């Protein structure tokens, strides 16, 4: 198993942290009992600006889970879901706009670099993307 590690990163001028955690810790964060029905691979917590990744995941699944949670994070800090009419162009723009920042963070994370990541996206290319002044409340579960 890979060494457990945590990493801070900055996205849209907000300080976030990636934390590898036990299943018990993730259930505690989510406020549920730890049992077979509650198994979390990752959590994206806007309230604490923390991404939790289950420490016991296979490294390949850990990477995929981190990508997934970082996309939740990206959506939370750059986008609004209000009145969003999903279509293929919106999805393509989201993937295109978020790809570099998300993959840079993942690359840094798995290369064991603790370099702080500073990235900004000045003008999201679709009108539906609008910056939120306050972080979203609550958590995203995958």
Binding site for Zn ion (CB under 5 A): 142
Least separation, in Å, of the C-beta of 133 and Zn ion? 24
Which residue lies nearer to Zn ion by CB, 47 or 120? 47
Least separation, in Å, of the C-beta of 53 and Zn ion? 12
Helix (H) or strand (E) holding 141: strand 139-141
Which residue lies nearer to Zn ion by CB, 7 or 51? 51
Extract the runs of DSSP E, i.e. beta strands, from 5-116. 7-11, 14-21, 42-45, 50-54
Which residue lies nearer to Zn ion by CB, 98 or 116? 98
For residue 20, with 0-12 CB atoms within 10 Å meaning exposed, 13-18 middle and 19 or more buried, which class applies? Answer: buried
Least separation, in Å, of the C-beta of 69 and Zn ion? 7
């Amino acid at each position: 198993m890979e060494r457990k590690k945590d990493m801070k990163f900055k996205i849209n001028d907000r300080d976030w942290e990636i934390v590898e955690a036990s299943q018990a810790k993730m259930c505690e964060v989510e406020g549920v009992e730890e049992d077979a029905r509650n198994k979390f691979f990752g959590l994206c917590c806007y309230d604490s600006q923390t991404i939790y990744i289950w420490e016991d995941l296979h490294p390949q699944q850990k990477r995929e889970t981190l990508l997934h949670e970082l996309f939740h994070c990206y959506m939370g800090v750059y986008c609004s879901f209000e009145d969003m009419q999903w279509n293929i162009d919106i999805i393509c723009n989201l993937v295109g706009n978020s790809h570099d920042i998300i993959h840079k963070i993942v690359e840094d994370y798995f290369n064991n670099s603790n370099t702080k990541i500073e990235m900004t996206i000045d003008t999201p290319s679709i009108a539906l993307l609008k910056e939120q002044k306050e972080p979203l409340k609550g958590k995203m579960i995958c």
